[in-house]
């Protein structure tokens, strides 16, 4: 990308933000989503003095690359560096039925998808939604006897946007899909070329995705516990550079 990047001292993203992105350029600032929550407004550690560190959550496997907040022409985005695998997100406590609509913008670096198929592992970016359901309370009293808190979440859905490399980046195939924490997969967009190198705006009804993976369940007691973002851990060509891609301006609303 040609935009100047600025690394913040503490690279923590996600304070539910507004959507406003356009293809071919950095995402633009917009108005607050009516009835929604913002990520990327207040409370980002290292950016705002009133940030609450307890709101933030990270997961970093061994060998994973960094995540950094960068300034793309005045808009804050999360950049995932190769090798990916790390996630960064914000803790929430909001009912799924109250804020079911997830929107975000994303950008994949074209060079990541060139240089042949590599190891056959998917490359790209992801947004992960962690749910807290009534099932989480099972065994909670037993854990408290030993001074252990129950897990923050018990189900998750990963929205992936990426694909496989090709001899040339313009021939790489990218798609969008959802995977639950048991590995079941829902294709959201058939594979196609030409997705990298352009900003995309996405919107999805999380309640419909949840019903697909867990049909017949009541959604009334399901909460969104964490929303996180990051990059996939698949190998990328060494000449591709450090950045895998970017996620910007995430929001949930009714």
Residue holding tokens 């992105």? 21
Whole-number pLDDT of residue 185: 94
Query: What pTM was computed for the model?
Result: 0.80
Measured CA to CA in angstroms, residue 119 lies from 11, 26, 103, 234, 237 at distances of: 29, 31, 31, 8, 10
For residues 178 and 190, is the Cβ–Cβ distance under 8 A?
no
Low-confidence ranges of the chain (pLDDT < 70): 1-54, 117-120, 136-150
Whole-number pLDDT of residue 213: 96
Taking residue 193's Cβ as centre, other Cβ atoms within 10 Å add up to: 15
Whole-number pLDDT of residue 128: 94
Write out pLDDT tens, residues 166-219: 888 888 889 999 999 999 999 999 989 988 999 999 999 999 999 999 998 999
> Please, what are the domains in the chain?
37-253 (2.60.120)
Pure H helices in the chain: 140-145, 206-213
CA torsion through residues 178, 164, 192, 17, sign: positive
Whole-number pLDDT of residue 234: 76
């Amino acid at each position: 990308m040609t935009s100047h990047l600025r690394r913040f001292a503490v690279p923590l993203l996600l304070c539910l933000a507004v959507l406003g992105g356009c293809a071919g350029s950095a995402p633009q600032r917009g108005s607050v989503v009516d009835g929604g929550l913002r990520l990327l407004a207040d409370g980002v550690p290292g950016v705002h003095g009133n940030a609450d560190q307890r709101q933030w959550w990270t997961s970093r496997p061994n060998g994973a690359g960094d995540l950094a907040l960068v300034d793309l022409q005045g808009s804050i985005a999360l950049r995932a560096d190769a090798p990916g695998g790390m996630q960064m997100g914000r803790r929430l406590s909001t009912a799924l039925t109250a804020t079911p609509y997830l929107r975000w913008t994303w950008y994949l670096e074209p060079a990541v998808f060139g240089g042949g198929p590599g190891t056959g592992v998917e490359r790209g970016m992801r947004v992960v939604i962690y749910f807290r359901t009534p099932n989480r309370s099972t065994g909670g009293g037993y854990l408290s006897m030993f001074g252990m808190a129950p897990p923050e979440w018990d189900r998750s859905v990963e929205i992936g946007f990426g694909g496989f490399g090709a001899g040339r980046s313009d021939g790489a195939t990218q798609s969008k899909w959802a995977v639950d924490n048991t590995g079941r997969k829902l294709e959201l967009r058939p594979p196609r070329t030409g997705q990298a190198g352009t900003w995309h705006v996405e919107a999805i009804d999380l309640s419909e995705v949840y019903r697909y993976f867990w049909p017949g369940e009541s959604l009334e007691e399901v909460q969104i516990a964490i929303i996180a973002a990051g990059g996939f851990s698949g190998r990328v060509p060494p000449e591709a550079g450090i950045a895998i891609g970017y996620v910007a301006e995430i929001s949930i609303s009714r």
